[in-house]
Amino acid sequence: MKLKIFILLILMMSLSFVLLAKEQKTDSEPLSAKQVLDKLDDLWRGKSSTAEMTMEVKTRHWHRTMVMNMWSKGTDYSMVRVVKPLKERGTATLKVKEEIYNYLPKTDRTIKLTAAMMMGSWMGSHFTNDDLVKESRMADDYTYKMTINKDKTINLVLIPKEEAAVVWGKIEILVREDYQPIKFVYYDEDGEISRTMTFDKYEKVGNKLVPLVMKMTPADKQGEYTLVSYKNLKFDIKIKNGFFSLNQLRR
Amino acid sequence: MNTWQMASRNLMRARRRSSITVLAMALALGIMIAYSGLFDGMMSGMKENAIMLDMGHIQIHAEGYRDTPSIYTRITDAEDITQNIIAKGYMASERLFANGLVAKGNSSAGVMLRGVDAEGEEAAMQLPGHVKNGKWLSKDDQHGVVLGFRLAKTLSAKIGDEIVFVSQAADGSMANDLYTVRGTLKSAGEMIDRSGLFMNIDAFRELMVIENGAHEIVVTIDEEKNLEEAVGNIKNMAKENEVLSWQEINPSLFEMLNASKSMMIPMIVITYIAIAIVILNAMLMAVFERIKEYGVMKALGMGPLGIFNMVVAETMLMAITATVLGLLLGISLSWYFQTYGIDLTSVAEGATFSGVAYNSIWKSKLTLESVLQPVIVLYIMVALAAIYPAVKAARLNPIEAIHHN
Amino acid sequence: MTVKDNAMIMKMAWRNLWRNKRRTIITLVSIAFGFLLSITFVSIGDGSYAKMINDAVKMGGGHVTIEPVGYRDKPALDLVVTKSDKLVEKLNAIPGVKNTATRIIGQAMVATAADSAGGGFIAIDPEKENNSFFFFKHLKSGKPFENSTKNKIIIGQKMADQLEVKVGKKLVLTTTSKSGEVVSGLYRVGGIFETGIMETDKFMVILPIDSIRKLLGYNKNDSSQIAVYLDEQREADYMAKHLSSLVTPHNAVSLPWPKIMTELAGAIQMDSVGNYVFQCFLFLLIGAGILNTVLMGVLERMKEFGVMVAIGMTPGRLVKMIMTENLFLAIIGLIVGGCVSLPVYYYFNTVGLDMSSFMSEDMSVSGVMFDPLIKAKLYWDRVLWIFGGVFALIMTTGLYPSFVATKTRPVDTLKIT
C-alpha cells in the first residue's frame, strides 16, 4: 500500500514536472511571425467578450468622450451600445455575420450599412466602419518579416499581398518581448505614414494579458486622435446568439 | 407737290399691291417682335431662374468656404450683417449647408441639407413660390422639409411622408431626426433638383449643433442696374468675408447670356432677307409699270435724284404703315405670350441648360430692345431693297421711257 | 378636257411666265431662297440633335438599352440580364444594329489610405469596347484595359485628385454583391480620364467586366445592361419595340433612349418645336411674297383674261392656266433651290457651323456636353417634307389670284381706256 502511494506521488510529481517543463518550454520558445500575427488578431477575441469602453475623440473642431457597452461572440457577432452622453444614449452598432446596422434611438431607425458607408468614420472617431468589421487575418493578407531589436522588442513589417483588398502600402508593428503590441504604424502606398495606433495599460483579464488602452492618431491632422480604453473587460462570458438582434438594439 | 404726296398717291393707285406688300412687311415685323420677345423671355427666364431661385444677385461667404466647403467655415456675425444689408434696402437671407443621408423606407439618397430662413428666403428669393406639390416651409415649422424635384422622385416621397436625415453634427455626435415632407419643388436647377433638402434654419441649428454663423448670405436687389453699387455697399458691410456677384459665381451662365443677345441678330437678318425680296419685287413691279410716267416726268424736268427720292419715299411710306401695323401685331402677341406663355410642362420638366432649369411655361419678355431691334433692321432692309429699283428708275432715258410699251 | 387642251394650257402658262422675265426670276429666287433656308435650318438642327444624342448614348446605355425587368424603378445589383452572350449574338445579327456593349453598372466606394469617395462604376468588356468606349477617348494618363479579368480600374481626374493617386497606385473598391453582402476588391489605377464634365470626372469609375463579375458573385454571362448602338439614331423607338420579345427570356426589357434620358429628350423637343415654329413663319413670309407677285401678274392681265373669256375660254380653264403657271414656278423654283442647297449643305455637312463664338466652353444640355461645332445632317423624309411643303405653299398662293382672275369682266376689256 505504501509503495503504491509512493509511486503515485512520484508519478504525479514527474507529471507536474513534465507539465511545468512543457509550460516553461512554451514560454521560452520564440513564436514565429505568423503566430505573432495571429496572436495579435486574436488579442481581444475570446470565444466571447464584454466590456465597458470609453472613447475620447479629439478633432480640430470638437472634443468628445463617449462611454459604451460592448459585447461580442466570435467573429460573427458584436454589439456596441452608447451609454453616455445622455443625448446619444441608446445609439448602437450591431454586426451579425456579414451585415452591420446602426441604430439611432432618437428616430427609432435602423440603418443597414451599405458599401458606400464602409469607409465612413465610426461614431465620429478615427476608426472606420470597415475597421470594426475587418474579418480577414493579417497573416492571410500580408507577407511579413520579423526582426528582433536590441531591447528584445520585435518588429514586424507587413507588405500586402498582391490581391489583398487593403489600402495600406505597408504596416509596421512593434511588439513587446511578451508579444503585447506597442504600436501599429500604417503607411500609404508612397511610403508616407497614414495613421498610427499605440497601445498601453497592459493588464491580465481572465488568463490573458491585454492592453486596455488604444490610441489612433491620423498622420495628416494635427492634434487629432481617438483614445479607446476598456474597463470591466471579461472574456468567455455566456451569451446567446439571439442577443445580437435588431430587437435587442432597441431596448 | 412734294415727294411724299406723290409717293402716297402712287401707292394708292396700286392699292392691292401696296397693301399686300405692307401686310407682308407688317407680318414679318410683328412676328419678329413676338419671336424676339419669346427669345428674350427664355433667356431672362433662365437668368431669373438662376438668380432668383438659388444664386441671388450677390453672395457672401466666409473666406475659403467656396474652395473648401466645411460646416466649420462660417460667417461669424451673419445675423448682424444680414440685418445691415436689409436696412440698406436690399433683401438678404442666411443659409446653412450640410451633407448627409436621407432615407425613407428602403430608399436612401445622399443630400445637401439646406437650412434657410423661411421668411427671409420668401422675401429675397423666388424659390418658395416654386413649389410643385404641397407648400413651402412656414416660419415656425421645426419638423417640416421641402424636397427638390428629382430627390422626391428618387425617394417616392409624397406630402406628409416621414423621412429620416442622418449626418455628423458639428460637435461630432450623430445628427439624426425625423421630418415630414411639406412640399416638393418644381425643377429649379440640377443641384437642388437632385439633392436639395430644405428645412428651417432654427431646426438646422438644433440638429447640426451650430449655434451661430451662416455658410452663406444671399442678397437680391431690386434693379439689376444697381448691381455694381450694391456690391460695393455690401463689401463694406461684410467685413472680412468674401462678397461675389452672380457673374463671378457662375461665369459660364453670364457668358451664355451675353452671347445670346447677339444670337437673335442672324435670325432677324435672315427673316428680313426674305422680306427684302418681297419688297424688291413689289418696288420693281411698281417702277416697271410706270416707266412711261417717269419718262414724262424726266422730260418735264424732274432730275434723277427726284425720281430716286420718290421711289424711296414710296418704300418708306409702306414701311411706316407696316411698322404701325407690325407693332400692333407684335406687341399684342408679345403681350399675350408674356401674360399666358406657352405651356411646356409636359416637355420641359427637369430639362436644364448649363445646369439651370428651363421654365415650364415659356413666357415672352417685352422690352424696348426686343421691339426696337426688329423695327430698326426692317428699315435698314427696306432701304437696301429700295435702292435697286430707285436707281433703275432714276437712270431711265426719258425718250426710251416714253416710248416704252 | 382633252390632252390637246391641256397641252395648250401648258404652253400658254409657260409663255406667260417668261413674258415678264424679271418678275419670274425674282419669284424663283424667293422660292429657292426659302427652300435653302428651310433645308439649312432643318439640317443643322437635326445634325446637332443627332450629335447630342449620339454622344449621350455613348456615355450612357446606347440608343436602345436592354436592362433587367424592374431595373428602371429600382436599380440594384441583384437584378441581372441573364445569358447576355447569347442575346448579344442574336442582336448583332439584326440589321440596323451597329454594335452592342455588355455592361455592369452599380454604386461603389473607392478608398485609398488618404481618403475615400463614393461613385458609380461601369464595367465593360475591353475586347469589344476598347476602341470605342467614350471614356477611353479622354484618357489623360495610363491606357485602356488589356483584358477583362485583371484588376485594373480607370477613374476620373477629380476623383484621382481627391484620393491622391496616380496610374499604378492601388485602391480598394467596396460594393454590394448579388447576395447583398458588402464585398471589397483590390484594384490598381490603369488610367485617368478627364472629360470636362464635373460629375463624370468626380464620380465615374470604369472596371473590366469579368473582374467585377467575380467580386459580385455573378454568373459568367450576367450583366446589368446591354447597350445597343444603332446605325441611325432615329430608329431607336422602332428598334426598342422590335426587340422586346427577343429580350424577355433574358429577364430583360428594351427601352429607347428617350425613356432613359428623359431630360435630354425634353430639351431636344423644346428646341425642335421652336425651330418648327420659326420655319412655319418663314414659309408664311415667302408665301406672302409669292402671292404678291402672282397676284400682280394676274391683275396686270385682267384685260387679257377678259379677251380670252370673251372668245370662249371657260373660267375653269383660266384657273387651270394660272395654277399651271404656279406649277411651273414651283418646279423650277424647287430645282433651283435644290441646286443651290446642295453645295451649302455639303459645306455644313463637312466643315460644319462653328458656334463657339456664341457659346462658352462648357455648355451642357441636361447633363450632356454641347459641341459648338455643328455638322448638318439631312434625312430623306425631311427633304421630302420640305419639297412637299414648298410645293403646296406655292400652289396655295395660286388660289386667290386664280379666283381674282375669274372676276374678269369681258365687257370692261372692250372699253378703250
Q: What ipTM was predicted for this assembly?
A: 0.75
* Residue A105 contacts B where some CB pair is shorter than 8 Å: no
Q: What is the C-alpha to C-alpha distance for residues B78 and B239, in angstroms, rounded to an integer? A: 10
A101 sits in which H/E element: strand A99-104
Q: Which of A95, A128, A167 would you mutate first to test chain C, the one with the most C CBs within 10 A?
A: A167
Q: Which of B19, B268, B270, B278 would you mutate first to test chain C, the one with the most C CBs within 10 A?
A: B278
Please say whether the beta carbons of C291 and C397 come within 8 A: yes
Q: Which of B166, B167, B208 would you mutate first to test chain A, the one with the most A CBs within 10 A?
A: B166
Domain identity same for B40 and B65: no
Domain identity same for B18 and B149: no
Q: Which of B27, B31, B350 sits opposite C266 (nearest CB)?
A: B350
Q: Is the peptide bond before A85 cis (omega within 30 degrees of 0)?
A: yes
Domain identity same for C123 and C255: yes
> B264-288, pLDDT tens digit by residue?
666 777 777 777 777 777 777 777 7
DSSP B106-158: TEEEEEEEEEE-HHHHHHH-SGGG-EEEE-PPPTT-SSEEEE-HHHHHHHT--
Question: Does a structural domain hold residue A81?
Answer: yes
Question: Of the residues C230, C259, C288, which one is the last residue of a structural domain?
Answer: C259
Q: Which residues have CB under 8 Å from B274's CB, separation 6+?
A: B28, C30, C33, C34, C37, C282, C285, C286, C289
Domain identity same for C409 and C307: yes
Touching partners of B (3+ C-beta pairs < 8 Å): A, C
Name residue A96's beta-bridge partners. Answer: A77, A99
Domain identity same for B63 and B80: yes
Domain identity same for C179 and C325: no
The range of the structural domain enclosing residue C392 comes to 3-56+265-413
Q: What is the C-alpha to C-alpha distance for residues B231 and B56, in angstroms, rounded to an integer? A: 12
Whether residues A165 and C172 touch (CB distance < 8 A) is answered with yes
Question: Does a structural domain hold residue A14?
Answer: no
Question: Does a structural domain hold residue B32?
Answer: yes
Whether residues C360 and B252 touch (CB distance < 8 A) is answered with yes
The range of the structural domain enclosing residue A205 comes to 30-249
Question: Of the residues B220, B242, B276, which one is the last residue of a structural domain?
Answer: B220
Q: Which of C29, C285, C291 sits opposite B275 (nearest CB)?
A: C285
Whether residues A166 and C114 touch (CB distance < 8 A) is answered with no
Domain identity same for C111 and C169: yes
Q: What is the C-alpha to C-alpha distance for residues A119 and A139, in angstroms, rounded to an integer? A: 22
Please say whether the beta carbons of C394 and C326 come within 8 A: yes
Q: Which chain A residues have a beta carbon less than 8 Å from that of C176?
A: 114-115
C-alpha angle B34-B37-B39 in degrees, rounded to nearest 5: 110
Q: What is the C-alpha to C-alpha distance for residues C111 and C108, in angstroms, rounded to an integer? A: 10
Domain identity same for C42 and C89: no
In this structure, what C-alpha cell is assigned to residue B120?
A: 427671409
Q: What is the C-alpha to C-alpha distance for residues C380 and B288, in angstroms, rounded to an integer? A: 42
Q: What is the C-alpha to C-alpha distance for residues B134 and B160, in angstroms, rounded to an integer? A: 9
End-to-end CA distance of chain C, in Å?
Answer: 35
> In the prediction, which pLDDT does A25 show?
43
Domain identity same for C96 and C117: yes
Question: Does a structural domain hold residue B143?
Answer: yes
Question: Does a structural domain hold residue A15?
Answer: no
Whether residues B164 and A61 touch (CB distance < 8 A) is answered with no
Domain count, chain A: 1
Once rounded to an integer, what is the mean pLDDT over residues A214-238? 89
* Residue B164 contacts A where some CB pair is shorter than 8 Å: yes
C-alpha angle C9-C12-C14 in degrees, rounded to nearest 5: 110
Q: Which residues of chain A have a Cβ shorter than 8 Å from any chain C Cβ? A: 98-100, 113-120, 130, 133, 160, 163-169, 186-190, 194, 220
Residue whose C-alpha is closest to residue C249's, from C77, C95, C68, C75: C68
Domain identity same for C251 and C368: no
Q: What is the C-alpha to C-alpha distance for residues C195 and B224, in angstroms, rounded to an integer? A: 35
Name residue A128's beta-bridge partners. Answer: A121
- Enumerate the H helices of chain A as residue ranges: 2-28, 33-41, 129-133, 138-141, 246-249
Q: Which chain B residues have a beta carbon less than 8 Å from that of A64?
A: 171-173
- The phi and psi torsions of B28 (rounded to 5 degrees) equal -60, -45
Domain identity same for B71 and B90: yes
Q: Which of A57, A60, A88 sits opposite B174 (nearest CB)?
A: A88
C-alpha angle B404-B21-B298 in degrees, rounded to nearest 5: 30
Answer yes or no: is pLDDT of C361 > 60. no
Q: Which chain A residues have a beta carbon less than 8 Å from that of C174?
A: 115-116, 118-119, 130
- Enumerate the H helices of B156-249 as residue ranges: 190-195, 201-208, 227-237, 246-249
Please say whether the beta carbons of C122 and C207 come within 8 A: yes
Domain identity same for B130 and B203: yes
Average the pLDDT over each of A17-21, C89-93, C250-254, C384-388 and give the range with the smallest value.
A17-21
Judged on CB neighbours under 10 Å (0-12, 13-18, 19+), A134 is middle
Interface of B with A in 96-155 (CB under 8 A): 101, 103, 108
Domain identity same for C167 and C132: yes
Residue whose C-alpha is closest to residue C145's, from C161, C165, C131, C163: C131
Domain identity same for B369 and B331: yes
Residue whose C-alpha is closest to residue C108's, from C251, C191, C220, C211: C211
Q: What proportions of chain C, in percent to the nearest 5, are helix, strand and coil?
A: 55, 20, 25
The nearest alpha carbon in chain C to A220 belongs to C114
Q: Which chain A residues have a beta carbon less than 8 Å from that of B166?
A: 104, 111
Once rounded to an integer, what is the mean pLDDT over residues C21-32? 84
Touching partners of A (3+ C-beta pairs < 8 Å): B, C
Domain identity same for C129 and C89: yes
Touching partners of C (3+ C-beta pairs < 8 Å): A, B
Please say whether the beta carbons of A216 and A195 come within 8 A: yes
Whether residues C174 and A119 touch (CB distance < 8 A) is answered with yes
Name residue B61's beta-bridge partners. Answer: B216, B242
In this structure, what C-alpha cell is assigned to residue B254?
A: 453670364
The range of the structural domain enclosing residue B119 comes to 58-220
Once rounded to an integer, what is the mean pLDDT over residues C177-192? 86
Residue whose C-alpha is closest to residue B359's, from B33, B35, B38: B38
Q: What is the C-alpha to C-alpha distance for residues C293 and B282, in angstroms, rounded to an integer? A: 7
In this structure, what C-alpha cell is assigned to residue C329?
A: 414656278
Distance from CA of C318 to the nearest CA of B (A): 21
Answer yes or no: is pLDDT of A21 > 50. no
Question: Of the residues B220, B241, B276, which one is the last residue of a structural domain?
Answer: B220
Q: Which of A102, A114, A184 would you mutate first to test chain C, the one with the most C CBs within 10 A?
A: A114
Q: Kindly report the length of chain B.
A: 405
Answer yes or no: is pLDDT of A58 > 90. yes
Domain identity same for B67 and B200: yes
Q: What is the C-alpha to C-alpha distance for residues B151 and A16, in angstroms, rounded to an integer? A: 73
> C250-262, pLDDT tens digit by residue?
889 999 998 888 7
> C47-78, pLDDT tens digit by residue?
888 888 888 887 778 899 999 988 887 777 88
Q: Which residue stretches of chain B have pLDDT < 70?
A: 1, 260-266, 345-355, 358, 360, 404-405
Hey, what long-range contacts does C87-92 have (CB within 8 A, 24 or more apart)? C87/C226, C87/C246, C87/C247, C87/C250, C87/C252, C88/C226, C90/C246, C91/C66, C91/C226, C91/C228, C91/C243, C91/C246
Q: Between the CA of residue C248 and those of B82, C77, C84, C227, C242, what are the distances in Å?
A: 60, 19, 12, 16, 12
> In the prediction, which pLDDT does B274 show?
73
Sign of the CA dihedral running C55, C56, C59, C61: negative
Longest alpha-carbon distance in chain C: 106
Q: Which of C112, C170, C182 sits opposite A115 (nearest CB)?
A: C182
Tell me the pTM.
0.73
Reported confidence tier of residue C358, pLDDT bands at 50, 70, 90: low
> In the prediction, which pLDDT does B354 show?
62
Question: Does a structural domain hold residue A185?
Answer: yes
> In the prediction, which pLDDT does A42 show?
79
> A101-144, pLDDT tens digit by residue?
888 888 888 888 777 777 778 888 888 887 777 767 788 889 99
Question: Does a structural domain hold residue B214?
Answer: yes
Please say whether the beta carbons of C68 and C137 come within 8 A: no
- The phi and psi torsions of C166 (rounded to 5 degrees) equal -130, 180
Question: Of the residues C203, C231, C259, which one is the last residue of a structural domain?
Answer: C259
The nearest alpha carbon in chain A to C186 belongs to A165
Domain count, chain C: 2
Whether residues A189 and C112 touch (CB distance < 8 A) is answered with yes
Q: What is the C-alpha to C-alpha distance for residues A13 and A20, in angstroms, rounded to an integer? A: 10
DSSP B254-291: HHHHHHHHHHHHHHHHHHHHHHHHHHHHHHHHHHHHTH
Domain count, chain B: 2
Whether residues A168 and C113 touch (CB distance < 8 A) is answered with yes
Q: Which chain C residues have a beta carbon less than 8 Å from that of B354?
A: 362-364
Answer yes or no: is pLDDT of C203 > 70. yes
> C102-135, pLDDT tens digit by residue?
899 888 889 888 888 888 898 988 888 777 777 8
Question: Does a structural domain hold residue B226?
Answer: no
> In the prediction, which pLDDT does C350 show?
84
Question: Of the residues C200, C224, C259, which one is the last residue of a structural domain?
Answer: C259
> In the prediction, which pLDDT does B263 show?
66
Whether residues A104 and B103 touch (CB distance < 8 A) is answered with no
> C230-248, pLDDT tens digit by residue?
988 888 889 899 888 888 8
Q: What is the C-alpha to C-alpha distance for residues A115 and C120, in angstroms, rounded to an integer? A: 12
Q: What is the C-alpha to C-alpha distance for residues B150 and C196, in angstroms, rounded to an integer? A: 24
Question: Does a structural domain hold residue A219?
Answer: yes
Q: Which of B190, B285, B349 sits opposite C266 (nearest CB)?
A: B349
Question: Does a structural domain hold residue B259?
Answer: yes
Domain identity same for C239 and C375: no
Sign of the CA dihedral running A164, A167, A168, A169: positive
Q: Which of C281, C289, C295 sits opposite B31 (nearest CB)?
A: C281
Whether residues C186 and A116 touch (CB distance < 8 A) is answered with no
C-alpha angle C173-C175-C176 in degrees, rounded to nearest 5: 160
Q: What is the C-alpha to C-alpha distance for residues A48 and A235, in angstroms, rounded to an integer? A: 6
Q: Which of A57, A60, A111 sits opposite B166 (nearest CB)?
A: A111
Q: Kindly report the length of chain C.
A: 417
Output the average pLDDT for chain C.
84
Domain identity same for B29 and B150: no
* Residue C323 contacts B where some CB pair is shorter than 8 Å: no
Q: Domain of A58: which CATH number?
A: 2.50.20.10
* Residue C263 contacts B where some CB pair is shorter than 8 Å: yes
Q: Between the CA of residue C317 and those of A26, C299, C404, C408, what are the distances in Å?
A: 125, 17, 14, 13
* Residue B172 contacts A where some CB pair is shorter than 8 Å: yes
Domain identity same for C36 and C129: no
Distance from CA of C148 to the nearest CA of A (A): 16
Output the average pLDDT for chain A.
83
Question: Of the residues B179, B199, B220, which one is the last residue of a structural domain?
Answer: B220
Q: Give me the torsion for CA of C377, C381, C383, C384, rounded to 10°.
A: 180
Q: What is the C-alpha to C-alpha distance for residues C52 and A68, in angstroms, rounded to an integer? A: 56
Strand ranges for C61-151 from DSSP E: 64-68, 97-111, 116-124, 139-142
* Residue C262 contacts B where some CB pair is shorter than 8 Å: yes
> In the prediction, which pLDDT does C86 show?
87
Hey, what long-range contacts does A143-147 have (CB within 8 A, 24 or more apart)? A144/A33, A144/A34, A144/A37, A145/A33, A146/A32, A146/A33, A146/A36
Q: Which of B108, B172, B176 sits opposite A64 (nearest CB)?
A: B172
